[in-house]
Chain A
Amino acid sequence: MTPLTFRTALLAGLSFGIASAAAPDAQIRRGAYLTRIMGCADCHMPLKMGPKGPEPDLARGLSGHPEALVMPAAPEPKGPWLWSGAATNTAFAGPWGVSYAANLTPDDETGLGRWTEAQFLQIVHTGRHLGKGRTILPPMPIQNLQATREEDLKAIFAYLRSQPAVRNHVPTATEPAASH
């Protein structure tokens, strides 16, 4: 893969929201726009290998790290190269352990199908997993969402809920090996 194709793939990922931009609701359209310019797809939509190099796997939508892609043990986070990422750009290893981009499609069992808007806001405000648990791990840019106005957060949530549900059970984050 050349650096150029990798970059193109990431840029292409930014245009995914277009299909649903036809949705009538202004809030959903604003949410699609925000999700695009904030780059949520960079990590939440897996890359797959295409004829011209890696490209966003549009069929999977924002369903996060693919369930079937079981990652081997990550390299030890040491030295100037501190963290590493999967080819899909959905799994990340570093001093925090291994984190997997969440399924942001409205599937009831594996996505945000059962979340209420209030729960989504709580996740953002607390910076905690499910709004109640451990702190959310890198590289999820939760601080960007925390600096986002509430009506925009609501628009993002409305957009996320309007996508087709994709069933994909993202693995739970694992702790750094050294801490067991």
Chain B
Amino acid sequence: MRPLSLLLAAVLGSLPGVAGAPYGGVRAPRLLSQTGLYAAPGRLDPRNRAYSPQYPLWSDGAAKARWVRLPDGAAIEAGDEDAWTFPVGTKFWKEFQFHGRKVETRLLWHARPGVWIFASYAWNAAGTDATLVPEEGLPDAAEIAPGLRHTIPGVADCRTCHENGRTEVLGFTALQLSTDRDPGAIHGEPPRPGLLTLEDLVKEGRLRHARADLLARPPRIRAGDPETRALLGYFAANCGACHRMDHPLDGLDLDFRPTGRTPGEPGLASTVNRPSQYTLPGEAPGTTLRIRPGDPDHSAVYSRMASRRPLSQMPPLGSALADREALDRLRAWIARAPAR
């Protein structure tokens, strides 16, 4: 190597994102076909089981499919119902389709004790295989609406959402797979044969130290009425990764974790009639409420969810398009809520 290119290599190597494999020396394979998702081109490996969380994440309206692969004979440590511990070797995949075309498939892989690999694969135009996306992500991955493009997040952004709680896994939890499935869940998929459930996991002996009455009393969000239940579930999945009191954001006591145990649910206690750190345009500092019953337009939660301006959109990353259905239902729910 010539001195110049040596120097260049040294400089590049010191830039974040360009450095070699930082995560315990493990790298994600270069092609999706090398990750173990498929047994042969276009044919899923039958050991990978499809599942669908009852409260999905909104991602610009993508149609999603998800699979989990638990190592043969291994079990999930399920003593802590809010944070299952997965055996080394566990893999999750999540596929995103827009307008009927596969765009990306994400991988979450417990490669070594304490090491989780995050990767996304962008599908080729022919739909035959997908290639590992660079560490910094891929803007312009697909058109989702006229003039609006879907961005594949970079690894730092994957970690921003996935590394907050005591587990990296967000959608494969006791509540998300509960047999007491919420029929009103926003964008929820109805149960269908072939989707792995809490019951399958118990019967197949995949859960160690789970409480004995897990199936008799499956996890469920405690709410007074069905619409409140659905909205709290939506917040838990879409906002709870960052807004949670066991890992609070500096100075914000906003808590969207579902407990399934407390009747008041923190998602209500920390929002309804509670002051926001954020000031809505036109309001005096310190007077904005997170949820102002009867008045969605003066509720920070509604306004920030409706925004897709870079400074105020919520969630701050992961989508370019606001979730119309969720906004309409939240709006109606706030409007109906009796003012104090």
Contact = CB atoms under 8 A, between A and B. Distances in A.
Interface in A123-158: 125-135, 137, 146-147
Contacts of A119: 250
A109 B311 contact: no
Contact of B160 (A132, A137, A147, A171): A132
B316 A133 contact: yes
Interface residues of A, number: 27
Given A128-B316, A146-B16, A147-B14, A134 B310 contact: yes
A179 B309 contact: yes
A135 B310 contact: yes
B312 interface: yes
Contacts of B216: none
Classify chain B: how many residues form its interface, as a range. Answer: 20 to 34
What is the interface of chain B mostly: helix, strand, loop, or mixed? Answer: loop
Interface stretch (B26-34, B125-133, B179-187, B273-281): B273-281
B28 to A, nearest CB: 18
A78 interface: no
Interface string B256-287: 00000000000000000000011101000100
B250 A125 contact: no
Kindly name the residue among A97, A134, A174 whose own CB sees the greatest number of chain B CB atoms within 10 A: A134
B15 A147 contact: yes
A114 interface: yes
Given A125-B16, A126-B156, A172 B278 contact: yes
A137 B285 CA distance: 21
B278 A115 contact: no
A175 interface: yes
Interface of B: 14-16, 156-157, 159-160, 164, 242, 249-251, 277-279, 281, 285, 309-313, 316-317
Q: 3 nearest interchain CB pairs? A: A175-B311, A133-B316, A126-B156
Interface of A: 97, 109, 114-115, 119, 122, 125-135, 137, 146-147, 171-175, 179-180
8 contacts: A114-B251, A125-B16, A129-B316, A130-B250, A133-B316, A134-B313, A135-B310, A171-B285
